[in-house]
Amino acid sequence: MRPLLVGFGRAFGGALVFSLPMLMTMEMWQLGFTVERWRLLILMLVSVPLLVFLSRYCGFEKTRHWAEDVRDAFIALGIGLLSSSVVLTLLAILEPGMPPSEIVGKIAMQTVPAALGALLGRSQLGRDGHVGEQEETYGGELLVMAVGALFLGLNVAPTEEMLLISLKMTALHCLLLVPISMLIMHAFVYAAAFKGGTEIGPETPWWSAFLRFTVVGYLVALAVSAYVLWTFGRFDGLEVAKALRIVVVLAFPAAVGAAAARLIL
């Protein structure tokens, strides 16, 4: 019983650590009321394969079969739902008499980041995680970057500042931000000697890692950013040029999250 309670405590703690900034952000409460429910459903469905992958990579326990990873993914969603419900109730965000649709929307908005935190809680907060025990593959590295980009993107995409910054930026700012984002990604993983970083072997040309991981990783961050902004309805009523600018703006923190995920996970 004690290992079960310890594991649940770590997962619940991870859910709080990773989702508390969003749980206390006003824009997230508003989006829970305004975002179309079918978009929230798609977000939940998209999160399941990512959670299954995280369970295999660094989840609650070392798993032997994909069925166990699917089980742990849904356990993480349950813990995310529970932690979000508890915190939103304690903070009086969920109130008696509130329409059920609004309650469901506000909780659903927080469940995915909380579930990501729940799965990461054991590996990052515990002493017996199994990060690094799985064989690294190119596809796995890209999925790790997608998880990092999604997590940081979910943190900042709801804020009004994303739109305000994109409106202030010119085309030149955007053109400069793209290569700078990629350089920061590359430096994080290969050049800054962070713990968990990767050294490029003398037989490997620098441009190979830059093209295969940094450039492709930035494209992953762009795609994740566009998806998150679409989910939150940030493209509604925007011209194509303005929509592209806000994607580039969000891809900056998403790219940092993608690079950080490669270091942490």
**CB within 8 Å of 96: residues ≥ 6 apart:** none
- Does 196 have pLDDT greater than 50? no
Q: pLDDT digits over 127-154, tens only?
A: 555 544 556 688 888 898 999 999 899 9
CB neighbour burial string for 53-88, b if at least 16 within 10 angstroms, e if fewer: bbbbbbbbeebeeeebbbebbebbbebbbbbbbebb
pLDDT at position 14 = 87
Q: pLDDT digits over 222-265, tens only?
A: 999 999 999 999 998 889 999 999 999 999 999 999 998 887 76
Task: Find, among 188, 112, 104, 177, the residue nearest to 150 by Cα.
Answer: 112
What percent of the residues of the chain are helix, what percent strand, and what percent coil, each to the nearest 5? 75, 0, 25
CA–CA gap between residue 223 and residue 156 (Å, rounded): 16
- Mean pLDDT value across residues 51-69: 77
Query: Binning pLDDT at 50, 70 and 90, where does residue 186 land?
Result: confident
- Does 189 have pLDDT greater than 70? yes
CA–CA gap between residue 14 and residue 60 (Å, rounded): 11
For 90, counting Cβ atoms within 10 Å of its Cβ (0-12 exposed, 13-18 middle, 19+ buried), the class is exposed
Lowest-pLDDT range of 6-15, 161-170, 254-263: 6-15
Task: Find, among 14, 90, 19, 77, the residue nearest to 48 by Cα.
Answer: 77
pLDDT at position 209 = 77
Q: pLDDT digits over 86-111, tens only?
A: 999 999 999 888 999 899 999 999 99
User: In angstroms, what CA-CA distances link 250 with 115, 128, 179, 187, 223?
Assistant: 22, 34, 14, 19, 10
Q: Are 143 and 44 in contact (CB under 8 A)?
A: no
List the domain boundaries for the chain. 2-129, 160-264
Q: Are 91 and 24 in contact (CB under 8 A)?
A: yes
pLDDT at position 210 = 85
- Does 126 have pLDDT greater than 70? no
Length of the chain in terms of residues written:
265
- Mean pLDDT value across residues 178-201: 72
In this prediction the pTM is 0.85
pLDDT at position 169 = 92
For 202, counting Cβ atoms within 10 Å of its Cβ (0-12 exposed, 13-18 middle, 19+ buried), the class is exposed
Query: Binning pLDDT at 50, 70 and 90, where does residue 191 land?
Result: low
pLDDT at position 164 = 93
For 169, counting Cβ atoms within 10 Å of its Cβ (0-12 exposed, 13-18 middle, 19+ buried), the class is middle
